Structure 1
C-alpha cells in the first residue's frame, strides 16, 4: 500500500491544504519497501489531492484536514487517517503494525476569509 504523509522536518505537518511536502511510503507484507519525498506547492486541497492521485497514493496520513479535502479524497478513492502528529518514523512504525487510527480531532473548521481557523485542538495559523 502506498501512503502519503504530510511532512516537514521529519514531523507530520499539521495543515493538509498548506503542506509543503509529502513523504511517500510503500509498505508491503508488513515491510517498508520504499520511502521518498514529493514536493508540493501547498496551494490548496484540490491541487494536492490531484498530486496524490497522480502519485498513485492509496491513503493519506495527516494532521488537520477540512471537509472539502476529505470529500475530494473520497471522490478520488484515497483513504484517510487524520489527527496524526509527531515524528514520521514513529508514524511509519504504526502503519507497519496496523495500529495507526483515524482521529476526528484532525477535522478543520475553515472560515475561508483569510482569518485564523481551528483544526481540532490546534490552530492551523500556528504552522
Structure 2
C-alpha cells in the first residue's frame, strides 16, 4: 500500500502540509485501487502513525524532514524522497517498475 502526499492532485513537495493523500493498493506490482484521504490537522510526528494505521508500507514524497523519516522507519514504512512532481498513479507505477527517479530531498528541516 503506497501513500503519496498531494496538492491539487499531484505530488506535494512539503509532506507535512499536503491537502490529501492518495492511498494506492497494489497486487503483484499492479495498481488495484486508489483512494483520496484527508489527513488530520498538521501536528509534528502525527502522519507516520496515521498512515501506518491505514496499512501503508511505502511513502513517496518530494521532501520530508529527518524526524518524519525516522518515525516512518520505526513503523517499518519505506520512504522515497526527492520524487518528481507527478500524478500519484504515475509515481506508484514508477516505484513498482523500479524506475522511480528520486532526487534531492526538497525539505530543509
Counterparts of residues 1-127 of structure 1 (less than 5 Å) = 2-88=1-87, 89-103=89-103, 105-106=104-105, 108-110=107-109
Q: Is the 8 A contact 1:42 1:48 kept in 2?
A: no
Of residues 85-94 and 31-40 in structure 1, the stretch that sits farther from structure 2 once superposed is 85-94
**Distance in 2 (alpha carbons) for counterparts of 1:95 and 1:80:** 11
Unmatched runs of 5 consecutive residues or more in structure 2: none
Runs of 4+ more than 4 Å apart: none
**Distance in 1 (alpha carbons) for counterparts of 2:32 and 2:76:** 22
Of residues 84-93 and 10-19 in structure 1, the stretch that sits farther from structure 2 once superposed is 84-93
Return the structure number with greater relative CO, CA threshold 8 A, min gap 6: 2
Residue 29 of structure 1: CA displacement? 1.4
Q: 1:8 to 1:107 in 2, by over 3 A?
A: closer
**Distance in 1 (alpha carbons) for counterparts of 2:94 and 2:55:** 21
Unmatched runs of 5 consecutive residues or more in structure 1: 111-127
TM-score between the two structures when normalised by the length of structure 1: 0.76
TM-score between the two structures when normalised by the length of structure 2: 0.87
User: Between Structure 1 and Structure 2, how many residues are aligned?
Assistant: 108
Larger Rg: 1
Q: Is the 8 A contact 2:2 2:92 kept in 1?
A: no
Q: 1:19 to 1:42 in 2, by over 3 A?
A: farther
